[in-house]
């Protein structure tokens, strides 16, 4: 298998959910929900691909469904306070007052929101 960018982060994701499941005495994880920001370097399709390929190797996650909530980036203008969504093609300035004095407030995270199982 090609060692693509998402492979190692998918392995890390599986390691983390398996640890949480064991701590919570879950024997089969039914689903895992993650939040994936559009401004991270990870994408949904390869993540799902590697997750489905790797889950066969573990009894705990054999039947786990990976739910990916994709979140668009958002920025907040430090000059006028306006918040806006970062659409493609990316433009990182305030659409309201055109200031470059902006901060990215959403879209840079890849987080596990929850796991469920029995």
Partner 1 sequence: MCEECGCNGEKQKDKMIFLDKSVTELNDSIADKTRIFLKEKSILCINIMGAPGSGKTTVIEGIADLIPRKEIAVIQGDLESDVDKKRLEKMNIETFQINTHSGCHLNADMIESAISGMNLDGKKYLFIENVGNLVCPAGVKMGQHINIVISSTTEGSDKPKKYPLVFMDSRLIVISKYDLKDAVDFNEKGYVDDIVKINGRARIIKTSSKDSESFTEMAHFIEHERKHLLEREHEH
Binding site for partner 1 (CB under 8 A): 2-5, 8-9, 12-13, 16, 20-21, 24, 26, 30, 34, 39-41, 89-93, 100-101, 108-118
| CB nearer partner 1, residue 9 or residue 60 | 9
Q: Give me the least distance between CB of 105 and partner 1, in Å please.
A: 14
Rank residues 49 and 93 by Cβ distance to partner 1 and give the closer one: 93
Other CB atoms within a 10 A radius of the CB of residue 66 amount to 20
Q: Which residues contact 113 (CB under 8 A, 6 or more apart)?
A: 33, 34, 35, 69
Q: How far is the CB of 56 from partner 1 (least distance, A)?
A: 21
Work out the burial of residue 8: count CB atoms within 10 Å of its CB; fewer than 13 is exposed, 13-18 middle, 19 or more buried: exposed
Q: Which is nearer to partner 1, 12 or 83 (CB)?
A: 12
SS3 83: strand
The first and second tokens of residue 110, run together, are 């890849």
Question: Which residue number, 52 or 108, has a Cβ lying nearer to partner 1?
Answer: 108
Minimal distance in Å, beta carbon 29 to partner 1? 9
**Hey, what are 53's tokens?**
């390929």
Bridge-based pairing state of the strands 29-37 and 65-71: parallel
User: Rounded to the nearest whole angstrom, what is the least distance from the CB of residue 54 to partner 1 in the complex?
Assistant: 14
């Amino acid at each position: 298998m090609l060692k693509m960018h998402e492979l190692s982060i998918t392995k890390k994701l599986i390691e983390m959910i398996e640890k949480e499941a064991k701590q919570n005495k879950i024997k089969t994880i039914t689903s895992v929900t993650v939040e994936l920001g559009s401004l991270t370097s990870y994408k949904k399709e390869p993540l799902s691909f590697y997750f489905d390929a790797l889950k066969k190797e573990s009894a705990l996650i054999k039947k786990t469904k990976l739910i990916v909530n994709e979140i668009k980036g958002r920025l907040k203008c430090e000059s006028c306070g306006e918040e806006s969504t970062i659409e493609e093609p990316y433009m990182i300035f305030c659409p309201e007052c055109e200031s470059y004095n902006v901060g990215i407030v959403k879209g840079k995270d890849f987080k596990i929101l929850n796991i469920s199982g029995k």
